[in-house]
Amino acid sequence: MTTAKDFTLAELIITAAAEAWRGDGELLATGIGTLPRLAAGLARLTFSPGLRLTDGEAYLVAEPVPLGPRGGASPRYCGWMPYARVFDSVWSGRRHAMVTPVQVDRWGQANISALGPDFRRPRVQMLGLRGFPGNSVSHKNSMFLPNHDRRSFVEGEVDVVASVGFKTNNWPAGAGPDFVRIGIVVTNLCVLDFGGPDHAAQVLSLHPGVAFDEVQAATGFALLRAPGLQQTPAPTEEQLAIIRRLDPHNLRAGVIKGNPPGAGSAGGEGAALADAEPGRRP
């Protein structure tokens, strides 16, 4: 495997996000949004062959379906997965989704529903709860946020708890977050998880050119440096080739503003290296 020299931040994120599904065995993998979907396909075609993917409509497919217009090419179907069966799969626990919430808080709770203090009259109505409460109490969820800032990683609690987390006083007596499993959270700055002491948020890797203090300043709650904090590994040429095949129309270029390079041309690289050793692939 050859480490790529020339890649975009979006491609770095796809490669980092694919790691969410490493070791998952056989289950339904769902990446919601362009980069998570490419990440799931990349994981499926490399180190997690047991992942089962859909065409984004109602069928399981034999191979990840490339994004965008297919020029008449039809996916090869190998199973039916209408919404009713998606719910059955969700509730059985045999699924790992990567979702794209608008707000995340220190308890790992996430919001896609609405913004503002008064739910009866929200400042901004967004999607609604969708399947987030059921997903988050049933199976593992990872997250992708394209703009890591204090509006997305909020200081207090998310405005609407769509995806549940580890805030125990949100749970009734006799129930609790035992079923909650949060995987990795991939952003335009770093990869973090809620695997610190008492589910504290911890940074696992910093993208090239990003310093820990920069991530902390962009986050509304305290972050820990995970043991073994490293630099997010660059994609390999082999991974880039797969990403290009799965995204022939380069939709990934439109996800991160300005489609910046992934190798960290911005200043602060020296500071970043003080925090993180260049990554080794596990």
Residues that bind another protein (CB under 8 A): 55-59, 65, 69-70, 82-84, 87, 90-91, 113-114, 118-134, 136-138, 160-165, 167, 170-177, 179-180
Q: Among residues 5 and 121, whose Cβ is nearest to another protein?
A: 121
When the beta carbons of 173 and 227 are compared against another protein, the nearer one is: 173
Closest CA to 275 of 221, 220, 209: 209
Instruction: For the CB of residue 275, give the shortest distance to another protein in the complex, in Å.
Output: 34
What's the CA gap between 201 and 106, in Å, rounded? 7
Residue 115 CB contacts under 8 Å (≥ 6 apart), including other chains? 102, 103, 122, 123, 124, 126, 159, 160
Distance separating alpha carbons of residues 176 and 178, to the nearest angstrom: 6
Q: Which is nearer to another protein, 48 or 138 (CB)?
A: 138
Place of tokens 């904090």: 229
Buried b / exposed e along 226-262 (16+ C-beta atoms within 10 A): beebbbbbbbbeebbebbeebbeeebbeebbeeebbb
**Cβ partners under 8 Å of residue 227, min gap 6:** none
Question: How near is the Cβ of 110 to another protein at its closest, in Å?
Answer: 10
Residue among 37 and 207 whose Cβ is closer to another protein: 37
What is the spatial distance between Cα 121 and Cα 115, in angstroms, rounded to a whole number?
9
Tell me how far, at minimum, the Cβ of 122 lies from another protein, in Å.
Answer: 6
Toward another protein, which CB reaches closer, 183 or 233? 183
Nearer to another protein, 97 or 162 (CB): 162
Which amino acid makes up residue 166?
F
User: Nearest approach, Cβ of 222 to another protein (angstroms)?
Assistant: 22
Q: How far is the CB of 280 from another protein (least distance, A)?
A: 36
Cα 84 from Cα 90, distance rounded (Å): 10
Shortest gap between Cβ of 98 and another protein (angstroms)? 16
